[in-house]
């Protein structure tokens, strides 16, 4: 049986590199999760999950994440990645994560992620307590990327 995480945290990173994969790896390192094994998940935060400002995750750990990543090889391109976390009023209900990235300024990308979180809660009929939005913008020098994620982890329940 897989244990349900009870902590979530938000990370972001940017990088330049020689290939798209190197850029992605650099973004993860910049975000502080580069030495973990990401498990891409869909966009639900378990009920009762609490936010941590940051966590030290043991190297090599399997880390569930919902993430947004964008890569560009157009010098001068402005790219951004954002993550929005919708938190319900009722702590017995799950939270929702929405991801967005685009060749647009960060403010526009964050606004879209925020709107998606609002719509997701409307679709579920949940009352919204708050929406947390995190993101990063990157101006491409040669080959660059931007990454934003919500990661789940395990506390001491």
Q: Clarify whether 30 is annotated catalytic.
A: no
Other beta carbons within 10 angstroms of residue 105's beta carbon come to 13
Report the predicted TM-score, pTM, of the whole model to 2 decimal places. 0.95
Q: Is beta strand 7-16 parallel, antiparallel or unpaired with respect to 50-51?
A: parallel
| 43 included as an active-site residue | yes
Could you give the domains of the chain?
Answer: 7-153 (3.50.20.10)
22: left (phi over 0), alpha (psi -120 to 50) or beta: alpha
From the candidates 14, 99, 134, 137, give the one annotated as an active-site residue: 99
Residues in CB range of 108: below 8 A, 6 or more apart: 80, 102
User: How far from chain centre, in Å, is Cα 143?
Assistant: 21
Span 80-124, pLDDT tens digits: 999 999 999 999 999 999 999 999 999 999 999 999 999 999 999
Instruction: Kindly report, residue by residue over 45-83, the tens digit of the pLDDT.
Output: 999 999 998 889 999 999 999 999 999 999 999 999 999
- Choosing from 14, 15, 30, 43, the catalytic residue is 43
pLDDT tens digits, 9-20: 999 999 999 999
């Amino acid at each position: 049986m897989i244990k349900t995480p009870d902590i979530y945290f938000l990370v972001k990173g940017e990088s330049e590199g020689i290939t798209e994969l190197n850029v992605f790896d650099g973004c993860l390192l910049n975000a502080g999760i580069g030495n973990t094994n990401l498990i891409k998940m869909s966009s639900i935060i378990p009920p009762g999950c609490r936010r941590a400002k940051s966590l030290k995750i043991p190297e090599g750990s399997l880390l569930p994440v919902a993430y947004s990543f964008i890569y560009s090889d157009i010098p001068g391109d402005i790219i951004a990645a954002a993550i929005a976390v919708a938190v319900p009023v009722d702590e017995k209900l799950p939270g929702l994560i929405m991801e967005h990235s685009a060749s647009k300024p960060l403010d526009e990308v964050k606004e879209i992620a925020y709107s998606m979180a609002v719509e997701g809660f409307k679709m579920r009929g949940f009352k919204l307590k708050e929406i947390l939005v995190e993101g990063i913008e990157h101006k491409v020098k040669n080959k660059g990327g931007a990454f934003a994620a919500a990661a789940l982890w395990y506390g001491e329940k």
